[in-house]
A and B are shown apart, each in its own frame.
Chain A
Amino acid sequence: MTVIGTMNIREHITPRQLFVIVFVLQLGIQMFMLPYGKSWSTGLENMLIILSAALVSQLLLVLLWVFGARGYRMNLYTWLTSRLSRVVSVTILFLLAIYFACSALVDTLYLTNTVRIWVLSTTPSFVLLVVFIAIGAYGAGSSLQSIANISQTVIFAIAIIGVLLIILIMREWDLKMILPIWHVGEHNVISVWLRCCSAFTAFELLLYAFPLLNKNDRRKGLIAVTWANWLSALLYLMGTAVSFLLYTTEQMHSITNPLFFAMKKLHNGLIQGIDMIAICLWILVLLIRTMMCLFMAAKAIDHLSRQEQHKHELWSWIVAGCCLIPGYFVTKHEWIDQLVGYRLNTTLILMGLMTIVFFAAYKRGTAARGTG
């Protein structure tokens, strides 16, 4: 514990900032992919799946909170470096950095692809990728509080999309479109469910951010995170509802992004391309994701040496540059889809691993406390 005592805590965040970041991060590219994995299940079932996934994510959040609130006044990376042997910690940090860099790249590739399909059809995707990654890197160079601030600004975009979704739901509400329930039958619910679970993954950040809460803010932190979790679940629910109210399961299989097709229905005398505006607003939300992944990757590299170097701004640019090189060679739509699939699976595996590690750490911690 002596190491912890001398730790220099430079950053700390408020529960409100935590809420904002978690909320924005949980609304990632999955919003583009609604309904999950082109499933054969119906609207209500999909909604239930989302709810259960949100519940799982809530459990994970509580677990993380228990870990974070136990008095460790350091983030995941310092915890790793201080607890594990040098070789192991460096390996883990390096792997984490690669994981985050890859997530940043894959998510941004997906975003690029979507933008190319919907808005800018002839712009080379690499140029868009460069632009998005550069913005992400610029944002990633700032402190966690600044990123929270940026995310909070972006919430207005989410609010607008939320209002659009509510309008659509109110206009098209028809119970028979989202029924029946419990009729999934032979179709693969599990894969859909896993996809849903991976939608609620802001946990990577929480590992870093939870210990940065002030000691008396801990309880509020849990409440904030819970709010964020269920609000994002609500948004996913609304998105799914809109998709299914407007299109049947069969139609959904030929529609790439049902949500944005649905937005087209909102055209009016003033603005015709509401869908275009929705996509552009969603770019803002997704850029936060890129930003955060780059931030985490840069911080991980920053912690590689024994002491934190506080050079993460430089590292975030370097990581972004490294991301661009493989990004140049990914040109096909299917590759991106595959990559997204890999990324979601890795996330799930990581989620599982983390749960085990923390459970073990918690056990050991209670044991240590009991004896000491």
Chain B
Amino acid sequence: MKMNNSIEINKQWITDELQNSSDLTFKEVLYNGSTCMIVYFDTLVDATIINEHILRPMLDSSGGPLQSDISIIGKEESDQLDIIIHAIITGNTVIQQDGSANFLLLASELHKDRTVDVTTNERVIRGSKQAFVELFETNINLIRTYIASPKLAITYYKMGETTKSKVAVAYLKGACDQGIVDNLHQKIIEHSHEDIEVRLGFLKRVAQDDRFAFLPLMLVTERPDRVKAYLAEGKIALIVQDNADVIILPVSFWAFFQSTDDYNMSWAFGSMIRLLRFTCFLLTLVLPALYISVSTFIPYLIPTEIALTLQSSLQYIAMPPIIEILFMLLTLEIIREASIRLASPIGQTIGVVGGIILGTAVVQSNLVSTMAIIIASFTGLASFVIPYYEMNLSVRLITYPIIFSAQLFGLVGIVCCMMLFIIHLSRMKTLGSPYYQATFPFIDSMRDTLYRPPNRNLVKRSRKQPSTK
């Protein structure tokens, strides 16, 4: 809608449009003889900018046009109501000179900046410790400073019908497959009109090609150095407004077992730790189910001594093994969830209460066998070794179907479930490229997936993207 020439009418329109908010401020200033209306949210703007760069130049004016008097870089003109309203709510100051329908939009938002901080979720022992912050521009600034390359392309998008959140797509031209970039562009455009708050979880829909995906399809990181490494590898980074995390796309399954630490250490240690992570991943998936299949089906697998010990530990337990395991895993989930949400000093007591008191009491009251506790706590510990929270969550979820099928068919059930898991993995695609690439028998595809190669081999690592055809 086009604005009116009259200040009064415009004022009425803007007030109506912005729900008569109390923090909406109208100021009328006499400028070179004509009245000017200045509109802004006083909660959103930086008062010094208005005083120093808007009001003072206007009052000191020597008669030039308003546009040239005001010394702010972010200057735009518009006479469309929706644009003006959007400008006001994003912290701009708008000025109308009486008699003209044109509004001057001036960037004057208050930057509530948080200093670049130390990483909290993805801690490493060696290397960079900087983390992203909530501020969009600061994050892009970090990426730009980490990669001072003219090839770094950054494109802005606005997503969400009402929220209009800013999303930036960053990639290295040349390193990145243009097909994937175009694909992502398409998808963002497709989804940008959906009226959903732009959160990281929502963006998942951008990354995934299939309907369900039980595993994380995008890597969320708070570490600029990791973003740098992935950009150099030819991946795309998505920076979302108000998020202290950056999304990496498209990632493969194996990326979730890599950590920056691997590359800061000698390759042997790096490989060992990576194998450890993968083993822990498998253990988390299978261990509870194995326990159930051994203790619920005829114990083919284990030799007599272990069978006797297992039997003895289960002797007075009323619950069947599956209930035991589910109960213990539930307890584990509760402790985990509780300790995340609680303030950190109390969080420590949760560990004590949950781990020691509950554990001992449960065993002494013959509710759960010692073996089940060992299995559950081992599974819990193993799941923490996986360096990404999203992967950790997925694994915890996938454990349950395997547990149930182990209850039904024992070892065969576990095998069938693993087969389904492998099929699911292989069918998953992200931005047109396969998510999971089997590696095992071929050394060159095991490089930097199952093991971390020596540095000279790492340099030669192929930067080819999986084909998108």
Seen from chain A, the residues whose Cβ lies within 8 Å of a Cβ on chain B are 10, 12, 16, 20, 115, 119-120, 123, 128, 131-132, 135, 138-139, 141-142, 145-147, 149-150, 152-156, 159, 267-273, 276-277, 280-281, 283-284, 287
Contact of B440 among A16, A156, A271 (CB under 8 A): A156
A276 B409 Cβ-Cβ under 8 A = no
CB distance from B308 to the nearest CB of A (A): 13
**B243-251, B362-370, B421-429: which lies at the interface:** B421-429
B300 A139 Cβ-Cβ under 8 A = no
B59 CB-CB contact with A under 8 Å: no
CB distance from A30 to the nearest CB of B (A): 20
A280 B415 Cβ-Cβ under 8 A = yes
Contacts of A141 in B (CB 8 A): 427
Contacts of B423 in A (CB 8 A): 135, 138-139, 142, 146, 150
Measured CA separation A271–B438 after assembly (Å): 28
B411 A284 Cβ-Cβ under 8 A = no
Contact of A131 among B416, B434, B439, B440 (CB under 8 A): B416
Can you add 11 more A-B contacts, CB < 8 Å, to A276-B300, A287-B416?
A120-B409, A138-B423, A139-B423, A149-B436, A150-B423, A152-B441, A155-B441, A272-B304, A273-B300, A280-B414, A287-B419
A271 B416 Cβ-Cβ under 8 A = no
Measured CA separation A281–B419 after assembly (Å): 10
CB distance from A274 to the nearest CB of B (A): 9
Contact of A149 among B409, B419, B437, B442 (CB under 8 A): B437
Most buried by A among B418, B427, B437: B427
Measured CA separation A138–B426 after assembly (Å): 11
Contacts of B304 in A (CB 8 A): 272
Measured CA separation A20–B409 after assembly (Å): 29
Contacts of A276 in B (CB 8 A): 300-301, 411
Chain B: CB-nearest residue to A121: B298
Measured CA separation A277–B294 after assembly (Å): 12
Q: Map CB proximity to A onto B396-440 as digits: 1 under 8 Å, 0 otherwise.
A: 000000000000011110111011101100110000001011111
CB distance from B83 to the nearest CB of A (A): 45
Contacts of A123 in B (CB 8 A): 409
Q: How many A-B residue pairs have CB under 8 A?
A: 95
B416 A283 Cβ-Cβ under 8 A = yes
Contacts of A273 in B (CB 8 A): 300-301
Measured CA separation A271–B302 after assembly (Å): 5
Contacts of B303 in A (CB 8 A): 267-272
Measured CA separation A120–B412 after assembly (Å): 8
Contacts of A147 in B (CB 8 A): 426
Given A120-B410, A272-B301, CB of A153 within 8 Å of CB of B422: yes
Contacts of B427 in A (CB 8 A): 141-142, 146
Tally of B interface residues using CB under 8 Å: 28
Measured CA separation A90–B438 after assembly (Å): 36
Most buried by B among A10, A12, A153, A272: A153
Measured CA separation A132–B409 after assembly (Å): 12
B469 CB-CB contact with A under 8 Å: yes
A154 B422 Cβ-Cβ under 8 A = yes
CB distance from B236 to the nearest CB of A (A): 22
Contacts of A135 in B (CB 8 A): 416, 419-420, 423
Contacts of A268 in B (CB 8 A): 303
Contacts of B416 in A (CB 8 A): 131-132, 135, 283, 287
Contact of A155 among B409, B426, B440 (CB under 8 A): B440
A12 B469 Cβ-Cβ under 8 A = yes
Measured CA separation A267–B304 after assembly (Å): 12
A150 B412 Cβ-Cβ under 8 A = no
CB distance from A174 to the nearest CB of B (A): 27
Measured CA separation A100–B422 after assembly (Å): 23
23 A-B contacts (beta carbon < 8 Å) = A20-B441, A115-B412, A131-B416, A135-B423, A145-B434, A146-B427, A146-B434, A149-B436, A149-B437, A150-B422, A150-B423, A153-B426, A155-B438, A155-B440, A270-B303, A271-B302, A273-B301, A276-B300, A280-B412, A283-B419, A284-B415, A284-B419, A287-B419
CB distance from A144 to the nearest CB of B (A): 11
Measured CA separation A145–B442 after assembly (Å): 16
CB distance from A5 to the nearest CB of B (A): 18
Contacts of A284 in B (CB 8 A): 415, 418-419
CB distance from B58 to the nearest CB of A (A): 64
CB distance from B249 to the nearest CB of A (A): 20
Measured CA separation A115–B413 after assembly (Å): 11
Contacts of A152 in B (CB 8 A): 438-441
Chain B: CB-nearest residue to A153: B438
Most buried by B among A138, A152, A154: A152
CB distance from A146 to the nearest CB of B (A): 4
Query: 4 tightest A-B contacts by CB?
Result: A152-B438, A273-B300, A149-B426, A146-B426
Contacts of A119 in B (CB 8 A): 300, 410-412
Contacts of A10 in B (CB 8 A): 469
Contacts of A283 in B (CB 8 A): 412, 415-416, 419
B438 A149 Cβ-Cβ under 8 A = yes
Measured CA separation A105–B67 after assembly (Å): 80
CB distance from B296 to the nearest CB of A (A): 12
A149 B434 Cβ-Cβ under 8 A = yes
Most buried by A among B300, B304, B419, B420: B419
B410 A150 Cβ-Cβ under 8 A = no
Most buried by A among B412, B436, B440: B412
Measured CA separation A123–B408 after assembly (Å): 9
B469 A142 Cβ-Cβ under 8 A = no
Measured CA separation A153–B420 after assembly (Å): 12
Contacts of B440 in A (CB 8 A): 152-153, 155-156, 159
Measured CA separation A280–B406 after assembly (Å): 13
Residues 359-399 (chain B) with a chain A CB within 8 angstroms = none
Contacts of A16 in B (CB 8 A): 442
Contacts of A159 in B (CB 8 A): 440-441
Most buried by B among A123, A280, A283: A280
Measured CA separation A276–B299 after assembly (Å): 11
Q: Map CB proximity to A onto B116-151 as digits: 1 under 8 Å, 0 otherwise.
A: 000000000000000000000000000000000000
Measured CA separation A149–B438 after assembly (Å): 6
CB distance from A269 to the nearest CB of B (A): 6
CB distance from A354 to the nearest CB of B (A): 29
CB distance from A41 to the nearest CB of B (A): 33
Chain A: CB-nearest residue to B418: A284
Contacts of B411 in A (CB 8 A): 119, 276-277, 280
Measured CA separation A276–B224 after assembly (Å): 49
CB distance from A9 to the nearest CB of B (A): 9
CB distance from B342 to the nearest CB of A (A): 40
Contact of B415 among A12, A270, A281 (CB under 8 A): A281
Measured CA separation A154–B441 after assembly (Å): 10
Contacts of A142 in B (CB 8 A): 423, 426-427
Measured CA separation A237–B161 after assembly (Å): 66
Measured CA separation A283–B415 after assembly (Å): 8
Contacts of B301 in A (CB 8 A): 271-273, 276-277
Chain A: CB-nearest residue to B424: A138
Measured CA separation A123–B407 after assembly (Å): 13
Measured CA separation A283–B420 after assembly (Å): 13
B300 A138 Cβ-Cβ under 8 A = no
Contacts of B438 in A (CB 8 A): 20, 149-150, 152-153, 155
Measured CA separation A269–B302 after assembly (Å): 8
CB distance from A223 to the nearest CB of B (A): 14
Measured CA separation A237–B167 after assembly (Å): 59
